[in-house]
Amino acid sequence: MTENSMTDTNSSFDLAAELKAIVGNQYTLTDEDKTKPYSQGFRLGGGKAYAVVRPGSLVEIWKCLQACVKADVIVIMQAANTGLTGGSTPNGADYDRPIVIISTMRIDDIQLLDQGKQIVGFAGSTLFGLEDTLRPYGREPHSVIGSSCIGASIVGGVCNNSGGALVQRGPAYTEMALFAQVTADGELQLVNNLGIELGSDPEEILTNLQNKTYQEKDVQFPDKLGSDNEYHERIRDVDADTPSRFNNDPRRLHEASGCAGKLAVFAVRIDTFPIPEKYQVFYIGTNDPAVMEQMRRDMLSTFKNLPVSGEYMHSSSYDISKKYGKDSYLVIDKLGTKYIPKMFALKRTVDRWAGKLKFMPSKFSDIMMQYASQLFPNHLPKRMEDFREKYEHHWIVETSNDGVAEAQAYLENFFKNNEGDFFACTKREADQAILHRFVTGGALTRYHIMNKKDLGSIMTIDVAFPRNERDWFEELPKDIEDKVAVKMYYGHFFCHVMHQNYIMKKGVDAKAVKKQILSSYDARGAEYPAEHNVGHEYVAKPALRDFYQKTDPTNRFNAGIGGTSKLKNWQELSDEHTGCGCHK
């Protein structure tokens, strides 16, 4: 198979020409320097794509899928490409078919249902956009700004069971979605499980949804979930010997939810939630991990009102985020979240042009932004900085309504007899603390870019510890500790979901070290990944692998995810297989 002959049944079929006819020349990318921002992962992974298409409507997505199925190529559905495990890009070269990436970010519509109590989010809609859309209605999303996925999409979150920072709501989940699926017979079909009557023909359904031509009477309210309605109870069970949430959890694998791109998801219908009338953020510091754990257990098991969230930062994360997340912090703080997609687009353009000049360093935009950020004064408030000098462990606990007074009274009493301290944040301090935590994930990548000549590779883990785990803070064995140059710990502490990121010393085999660490987690009953999904960094466990095969029986979509087969019909790679010529 060649790059210009994209079918084994019709050698004259030109897939690139077909895609251009559907979405236009401007939105069909085939030059490698233009496809690279889409074919390379946010933090890791990447490979070559035959083409990247950027459709402007749901019908255009459908037509692109029809062309790709006809040409017998692999399809990767991609939204913001902000994932941390490489799960929305190609990975390596050992595929048996060319790859087409369908980027959905031009299709970012959000439609309100039932006065904003539910929404329909299109394939490229983002959490940022959803927050803005819901604010006038006094509602907010199932998830709020995450720790690392700047500009994350709604559909991407659902497909990866992501999120869960909000302890009352859990990970993104819905049983109502509109998606395309390739059957075991190789036929493309559209499945409308949105609970909205939109017609019967695929193009009719997609057009009616896009144009919102349906009436109020066409919206049904089926006995299907639009969010995880059990999570607030699960998280309170602090003595359970299983984690509260993790990607492999069969309890929350359903069609689009958890599919990791094994379906082409056009839209999802999800619940929204009332904005609390009163908020208060408490900033907590301690040097004793056992103190943190006791507070967690008390708040979850004895509080009448569950806290909203509890974001943890180790002092090393605090410092790295302060220096290497500063530019992202300043952009969001001064310009707002709406500017983030523009910033990423500008970065891609700068890096693409810089890449054409041999004397320019790779990741030039990051280097430029890092130096520019250091021209600005310290952006963090004095009380946070004072706590950084005193304490190793930092916990940002957000409470609401009646939970504010409950938490205030508890913390005042708790710290009479326990090591550590807390303060109630002003509105400005709360925004600064949460934003500082928000930019942490990207800060590690920046740190590595700026210091990579002295460092080995990045190795990241997101792990969910059992709810009854008390020894949550990692102490590495000396033989592993000696191989690590930088450690960065942060996470969603109420959920016992920790992001444990490392940069190896030069010459260290990061995969071997990771295998050692993960085996220790297995022995403790932990689950991984917790929320970023397997991508191309983890091996899908049996329940998840079986779900992928059932969902995508011919292995048409996002082949190879979770260490599974990259070959058609889930064949295994033979020693003689060299892959498709266009990937060499």
How far is 259 from 253, CA to CA, in rounded Å?
7
3-state helix, strand, coil in the chain (%, to 5): 40, 20, 45
Among residues 551, 540, 464, the alpha carbon closest in space to that of 254 is found at: 551
Indicate the SS3 state at residue 459.
strand
Per the CB < 8 A criterion, the answer to whether 483 and 455 are in contact is no
Q: Return d(Cα 228, Cα 18) in angstroms, integer.
A: 41
The 8 Å CB, 24+ separation contacts for 294-301 are 294/418, 295/395, 295/414, 296/238, 296/493, 296/494, 296/496, 297/238, 298/410, 298/414, 299/397, 299/407, 299/410, 299/494, 300/167, 300/235, 300/236, 300/238, 300/494, 301/236, 301/238
| Cα distances (Å, whole numbers) of residue 414 to 64, 302, 366, 404 | 59, 13, 43, 15
Kindly give the interhelix angle for 32-39 and 340-354, rounded to the nearest 10 degrees: 140
- The amino acid that residue 440 corresponds to is T
> What is the rounded CA–CA span in Å between residue 523 and residue 43?
28
Angle, helices 427-438 vs 382-390, to 10°: value is: 60
Phi first, then psi: give them for residue 476, nearest 5 degrees. -70, 145
The 3 state secondary structure assigned to 339-402 is HHHHHHHHHHHHHHHHCCCCCCCCCHHHHHHHHHHCCCCCCCCHHHHHHHHHCCEEEEEEEECH
Q: Which 3 state secondary structure label does DSSP give 238?
A: coil
Annotated binding-site members: 79-83, 87-88, 146, 153, 163, 260, 265
Task: Determine the angle formed by the axes of helices 315-324 and 427-438, rounding to 10 degrees.
Answer: 90
Known binding-site residue numbers for FAD: 79-83, 87-88, 146, 153, 163, 260, 265
What are the backbone dihedrals phi and psi of residue 496, each rounded to the nearest 5 degrees, phi first?
60, 30
Dihedral sign, CA of 359, 362, 365, 366?
negative
Q: Using an 8 Å Cβ cutoff, are 266 and 122 in contact?
A: yes
Q: What is the CA radius of gyration of the chain?
A: 24
Which tokens hold the place of 565?
Answer: 């087969």
Cα pseudo-dihedral 104, 110, 111, 116, rounded to 10: 150
In terms of Cα–Cα distance, which of 534, 498, 514 is closest to 458? Answer: 514
Give the Cα separation of 256 and 259 in Å (integer). Answer: 5
Contacts of 96 (CB under 8 A, 6+ apart): 566, 567, 568, 571, 577, 579, 580
Is residue 1 within 8 Å of 98, Cβ to Cβ? yes
The amino acid that residue 182 corresponds to is V
Helix runs in 212-256, H state only: 231-234
Q: Which of 55, 59, 96 is nearest to 77 (CA)?
A: 55
